[in-house]
Protein backbone atom coordinates (compact mmCIF):
# COMPACT_ATOMS: atom_id res chain seq x y z
CA UNK A 1 0.00 0.00 0.00
CA UNK A 2 1.46 3.36 -1.08
CA UNK A 3 0.91 6.17 1.42
CA UNK A 4 1.72 9.85 0.95
CA UNK A 5 4.18 11.17 3.52
CA UNK A 6 2.85 14.71 3.04
CA UNK A 7 -0.82 13.80 3.53
CA UNK A 8 -0.97 10.29 4.97
CA UNK A 9 -4.18 8.28 5.05
CA UNK A 10 -4.50 4.59 5.85
CA UNK A 11 -7.41 3.07 3.94
CA UNK A 12 -9.18 6.40 4.23
CA UNK A 13 -8.52 6.70 7.96
CA UNK A 14 -6.76 9.58 9.71
CA UNK A 15 -3.20 8.45 10.49
CA UNK A 16 -3.29 9.02 14.25
CA UNK A 17 -6.95 8.84 15.27
CA UNK A 18 -7.51 5.84 12.95
CA UNK A 19 -11.08 6.88 12.13
CA UNK A 20 -12.74 8.10 8.94
CA UNK A 21 -15.49 10.47 7.87
CA UNK A 22 -18.84 9.40 9.24
CA UNK A 23 -17.35 7.93 12.42
CA UNK A 24 -17.84 11.04 14.58
CA UNK A 25 -20.61 13.46 15.47
CA UNK A 26 -20.53 17.14 14.58
CA UNK A 27 -19.65 17.99 18.19
CA UNK A 28 -16.60 16.40 19.79
CA UNK A 29 -15.58 16.66 23.44
CA UNK A 30 -11.81 16.68 24.01
CA UNK A 31 -10.47 15.33 27.31
CA UNK A 32 -6.72 14.94 27.64
CA UNK A 33 -6.66 11.55 29.33
CA UNK A 34 -7.72 8.55 27.20
CA UNK A 35 -9.29 6.93 30.27
CA UNK A 36 -11.82 9.77 30.47
CA UNK A 37 -13.25 8.78 27.10
CA UNK A 38 -14.52 5.59 28.72
CA UNK A 39 -16.36 7.59 31.42
CA UNK A 40 -19.02 8.46 28.85
CA UNK A 41 -20.11 4.83 28.48
CA UNK A 42 -22.48 5.26 31.43
CA UNK A 43 -23.67 8.72 30.33
CA UNK A 44 -24.48 8.25 26.64
CA UNK A 45 -26.64 5.90 24.60
CA UNK A 46 -25.25 3.50 22.01
CA UNK A 47 -21.80 4.65 23.03
CA UNK A 48 -18.77 2.64 22.01
CA UNK A 49 -15.03 3.06 21.69
CA UNK A 50 -14.27 3.06 17.96
CA UNK A 51 -10.50 3.58 17.95
CA UNK A 52 -7.51 3.65 20.28
CA UNK A 53 -3.99 4.52 19.20
CA UNK A 54 -1.20 6.06 21.29
CA UNK A 55 -2.73 8.88 23.37
CA UNK A 56 -5.84 9.01 21.20
CA UNK A 57 -8.97 7.12 22.17
CA UNK A 58 -12.22 7.92 20.36
CA UNK A 59 -15.75 7.08 21.48
CA UNK A 60 -19.05 7.93 19.86
CA UNK A 61 -22.74 7.65 20.66
CA UNK A 62 -25.77 9.83 21.39
CA UNK A 63 -26.99 11.92 24.30
CA UNK A 64 -30.68 12.81 24.52
CA UNK A 65 -30.90 11.95 20.86
CA UNK A 66 -27.99 14.10 19.70
CA UNK A 67 -24.80 12.61 18.25
CA UNK A 68 -21.74 13.13 20.40
CA UNK A 69 -18.16 11.97 20.11
CA UNK A 70 -15.30 12.09 22.59
CA UNK A 71 -11.62 12.11 21.61
CA UNK A 72 -8.64 12.30 23.94
CA UNK A 73 -5.86 14.68 22.98
CA UNK A 74 -3.04 13.64 25.28
CA UNK A 75 -1.10 16.32 27.13
CA UNK A 76 -0.03 19.62 25.62
CA UNK A 77 -0.14 21.54 22.37
CA UNK A 78 1.66 19.23 19.91
CA UNK A 79 -0.51 16.26 20.81
CA UNK A 80 -3.71 18.35 20.77
CA UNK A 81 -2.77 19.84 17.38
CA UNK A 82 -2.79 16.40 15.76
CA UNK A 83 -6.20 15.50 17.16
CA UNK A 84 -7.77 18.86 16.28
CA UNK A 85 -6.54 18.93 12.67
CA UNK A 86 -7.61 15.35 12.01
CA UNK A 87 -11.04 15.90 13.61
CA UNK A 88 -11.62 19.04 11.52
CA UNK A 89 -10.65 17.16 8.36
CA UNK A 90 -13.14 14.45 9.34
CA UNK A 91 -16.01 16.93 9.57
CA UNK A 92 -16.19 18.11 13.18
CA UNK A 93 -18.02 21.42 13.52
CA UNK A 94 -17.48 22.06 17.24
CA UNK A 95 -14.63 21.03 19.53
CA UNK A 96 -14.96 21.48 23.29
CA UNK A 97 -12.07 20.79 25.61
CA UNK A 98 -12.93 19.19 28.95
CA UNK A 99 -10.18 18.71 31.49
CA UNK A 100 -8.54 19.69 34.73
CA UNK A 101 -6.97 22.97 35.64
CA UNK A 102 -5.08 24.85 38.32
CA UNK A 103 -6.40 28.26 39.32
CA UNK A 104 -4.70 31.45 40.46
CA UNK A 105 -7.43 33.06 42.55
CA UNK A 106 -8.00 32.03 46.15
CA UNK A 107 -11.77 32.45 45.90
CA UNK A 108 -12.03 29.69 43.27
CA UNK A 109 -12.53 26.34 45.02
CA UNK A 110 -11.32 22.93 43.98
CA UNK A 111 -14.26 21.26 42.25
CA UNK A 112 -15.54 24.52 40.72
CA UNK A 113 -15.76 24.88 36.94
CA UNK A 114 -13.76 27.29 34.76
CA UNK A 115 -14.98 28.42 31.34
CA UNK A 116 -12.19 29.83 29.18
CA UNK A 117 -13.09 32.96 27.22
CA UNK A 118 -9.61 33.27 25.71
CA UNK A 119 -6.09 32.00 26.30
CA UNK A 120 -2.48 33.14 26.36
CA UNK A 121 -0.78 31.31 23.52
CA UNK A 122 2.07 29.61 25.33
CA UNK A 123 1.53 26.10 23.98
CA UNK A 124 3.99 26.26 21.10
CA UNK A 125 2.32 24.43 18.21
CA UNK A 126 0.12 27.25 16.98
CA UNK A 127 3.18 29.45 16.40
CA UNK A 128 3.55 27.50 13.17
CA UNK A 129 0.07 28.59 12.08
CA UNK A 130 -0.33 32.20 13.16
CA UNK A 131 1.77 35.08 14.54
CA UNK A 132 1.89 35.75 18.27
CA UNK A 133 -0.54 38.65 17.88
CA UNK A 134 -3.30 36.31 16.64
CA UNK A 135 -5.75 35.73 19.50
CA UNK A 136 -6.88 32.43 20.97
CA UNK A 137 -10.55 33.04 21.72
CA UNK A 138 -13.44 30.71 22.47
CA UNK A 139 -16.64 30.86 20.43
CA UNK A 140 -19.36 32.94 22.02
CA UNK A 141 -21.88 30.24 21.10
CA UNK A 142 -20.02 27.58 23.08
CA UNK A 143 -19.43 29.89 26.06
CA UNK A 144 -23.15 30.69 26.08
CA UNK A 145 -24.10 27.02 26.30
CA UNK A 146 -21.44 26.15 28.89
CA UNK A 147 -22.59 28.97 31.18
CA UNK A 148 -26.23 27.92 31.00
CA UNK A 149 -25.34 24.26 31.59
CA UNK A 150 -23.35 25.22 34.70
CA UNK A 151 -26.25 27.33 35.97
CA UNK A 152 -28.72 24.50 35.39
CA UNK A 153 -26.45 22.11 37.31
CA UNK A 154 -26.17 24.57 40.19
CA UNK A 155 -22.38 24.51 40.01
CA UNK A 156 -20.09 27.41 40.84
CA UNK A 157 -18.35 28.50 37.66
CA UNK A 158 -15.84 31.16 36.69
CA UNK A 159 -14.99 32.58 33.30
CA UNK A 160 -11.93 34.44 32.07
CA UNK A 161 -8.55 34.27 30.38
CA UNK A 162 -6.48 31.10 30.75
CA UNK A 163 -2.74 30.65 30.41
CA UNK A 164 -2.34 27.69 28.08
CA UNK A 165 1.23 26.56 28.64
CA UNK A 166 3.38 23.94 26.91
CA UNK A 167 5.05 23.04 30.21
CA UNK A 168 3.72 21.49 33.41
CA UNK A 169 6.77 22.16 35.57
CA UNK A 170 8.94 25.22 34.81
CA UNK A 171 6.28 26.95 32.72
CA UNK A 172 3.82 26.73 35.59
CA UNK A 173 6.26 27.77 38.29
CA UNK A 174 7.15 24.32 39.61
CA UNK A 175 10.61 22.94 40.43
CA UNK A 176 11.89 20.04 38.32
CA UNK A 177 13.90 17.31 40.05
CA UNK A 178 14.83 19.73 42.82
CA UNK A 179 16.04 22.44 40.44
CA UNK A 180 14.35 25.76 39.69
CA UNK A 181 14.32 26.78 36.04
CA UNK A 182 11.51 29.33 36.23
CA UNK A 183 11.54 32.93 37.39
CA UNK A 184 10.49 33.29 41.00
CA UNK A 185 7.70 35.62 39.92
CA UNK A 186 6.32 33.37 37.15
CA UNK A 187 2.96 32.90 38.85
CA UNK A 188 2.77 36.56 39.84
CA UNK A 189 3.21 37.55 36.20
CA UNK A 190 0.18 35.50 35.25
CA UNK A 191 -1.82 36.86 38.17
CA UNK A 192 -0.95 40.46 37.28
CA UNK A 193 -2.46 39.81 33.85
CA UNK A 194 -5.68 38.67 35.56
CA UNK A 195 -5.18 35.13 34.31
CA UNK A 196 -7.58 32.94 36.26
CA UNK A 197 -6.15 29.50 35.51
CA UNK A 198 -3.37 27.49 33.90
CA UNK A 199 -3.72 24.43 31.67
CA UNK A 200 -2.05 23.03 28.58
CA UNK A 201 -4.34 22.55 25.57
CA UNK A 202 -6.94 25.30 25.20
CA UNK A 203 -4.98 27.80 23.13
CA UNK A 204 -4.19 25.13 20.56
CA UNK A 205 -7.86 24.19 20.21
CA UNK A 206 -9.14 27.78 20.21
CA UNK A 207 -6.56 29.12 17.75
CA UNK A 208 -7.00 26.31 15.25
CA UNK A 209 -10.77 26.58 15.60
CA UNK A 210 -10.66 30.24 14.60
CA UNK A 211 -8.32 29.56 11.69
CA UNK A 212 -10.59 26.85 10.28
CA UNK A 213 -13.93 28.43 11.24
CA UNK A 214 -14.84 25.77 13.82
CA UNK A 215 -16.76 26.42 17.05
CA UNK A 216 -14.54 25.89 20.10
CA UNK A 217 -14.60 26.23 23.85
CA UNK A 218 -13.19 24.92 27.11
CA UNK A 219 -14.73 23.70 30.33
CA UNK A 220 -12.33 22.65 33.08
CA UNK A 221 -12.89 21.31 36.56
CA UNK A 222 -10.58 22.83 39.15
CA UNK A 223 -8.27 20.30 40.74
CA UNK A 224 -5.58 22.65 42.07
CA UNK A 225 -5.38 26.13 43.55
CA UNK A 226 -1.90 27.64 43.37
CA UNK A 227 -2.83 30.54 45.62
CA UNK A 228 -3.96 28.30 48.51
CA UNK A 229 -1.61 25.42 47.54
CA UNK A 230 -4.42 22.85 47.41
CA UNK A 231 -4.62 19.78 45.18
CA UNK A 232 -7.84 17.80 44.70
CA UNK A 233 -6.57 14.25 45.15
CA UNK A 234 -9.86 12.48 44.40
CA UNK A 235 -10.66 14.12 41.09
CA UNK A 236 -13.21 11.53 39.91
CA UNK A 237 -16.43 13.21 41.13
CA UNK A 238 -15.41 16.59 39.69
CA UNK A 239 -14.57 14.94 36.38
CA UNK A 240 -17.93 13.22 36.21
CA UNK A 241 -19.78 16.41 37.05
CA UNK A 242 -17.82 18.22 34.35
CA UNK A 243 -18.73 15.49 31.83
CA UNK A 244 -22.43 15.81 32.62
CA UNK A 245 -22.33 19.60 32.30
CA UNK A 246 -20.50 19.31 28.98
CA UNK A 247 -23.13 16.93 27.62
CA UNK A 248 -25.95 19.25 28.62
CA UNK A 249 -24.08 22.11 26.95
CA UNK A 250 -23.82 20.02 23.77
CA UNK A 251 -27.59 19.56 23.74
CA UNK A 252 -28.06 23.33 24.10
CA UNK A 253 -25.52 23.92 21.36
CA UNK A 254 -27.30 21.64 18.92
CA UNK A 255 -30.66 23.27 19.67
CA UNK A 256 -29.44 26.85 19.49
CA UNK A 257 -26.75 26.84 16.86
CA UNK A 258 -26.46 23.63 14.83
CA UNK A 259 -30.10 22.89 14.05
CA UNK A 260 -30.71 26.24 12.38
Task: Dump pLDDT digits (tens) for 163-222.
Answer: 999 999 999 989 999 989 888 899 999 999 999 999 999 999 999 999 999 999 999 999
For position 260, what pLDDT does the model report?
56
Inter-axis angle of helices 77-89 and 202-211, nearest 10: 30
Give the pLDDT mean for 62-79: 97
What the chain holds in terms of domains, given with CATH numbers, is 27-258 (3.40.50.1580)
Q: How confident is the model at residue 34 (pLDDT cuts 50, 70, 90)?
A: very high
For position 3, what pLDDT does the model report?
66
Mean pLDDT estimate for the chain: 94
| Consecutive H or E run containing 53 | strand 45-53
For position 259, what pLDDT does the model report?
74
Residue numbers annotated as active site: 16, 86, 174, 226
Give the pLDDT mean for 27-56: 97
Question: 227 pLDDT exceeds 60?
Answer: yes
Residue with the bigger pLDDT between 174 and 61: it is 61
For 97-155, the pLDDT digits (tens) are 999 999 999 999 999 999 999 999 999 999 999 999 999 999 999 999 999 999 999 99
| 2 class by beta-carbon count within 10 Å (0-12 exposed, 13-18 middle, 19+ buried) | exposed
**C-alpha span between 49 and 253 (Å, rounded):** 23
Query: Which parts of the chain fold into alpha helices (H)?
Result: 34-37, 77-89, 140-153, 186-192, 202-211, 236-253
Distances (CA, A) of 241 to 18, 28, 113, 245: 29, 18, 9, 6
Question: 8 pLDDT exceeds 80?
Answer: no
Question: 10 pLDDT exceeds 90?
Answer: no
**Whole-model pTM over 0.75:** yes
Q: How confident is the model at residue 2 (pLDDT cuts 50, 70, 90)?
A: low
For position 12, what pLDDT does the model report?
78
For position 237, what pLDDT does the model report?
93
**C-alpha span between 73 and 66 (Å, rounded):** 22
Amino acid sequence: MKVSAENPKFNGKAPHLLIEKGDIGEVVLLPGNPDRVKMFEDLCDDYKIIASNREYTVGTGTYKGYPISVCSTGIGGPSAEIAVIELIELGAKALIRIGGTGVLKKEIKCGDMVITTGAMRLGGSTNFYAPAEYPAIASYEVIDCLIDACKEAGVDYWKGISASIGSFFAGQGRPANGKTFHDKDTIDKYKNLNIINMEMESETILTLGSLFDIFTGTLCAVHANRETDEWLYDFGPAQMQMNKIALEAVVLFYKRYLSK
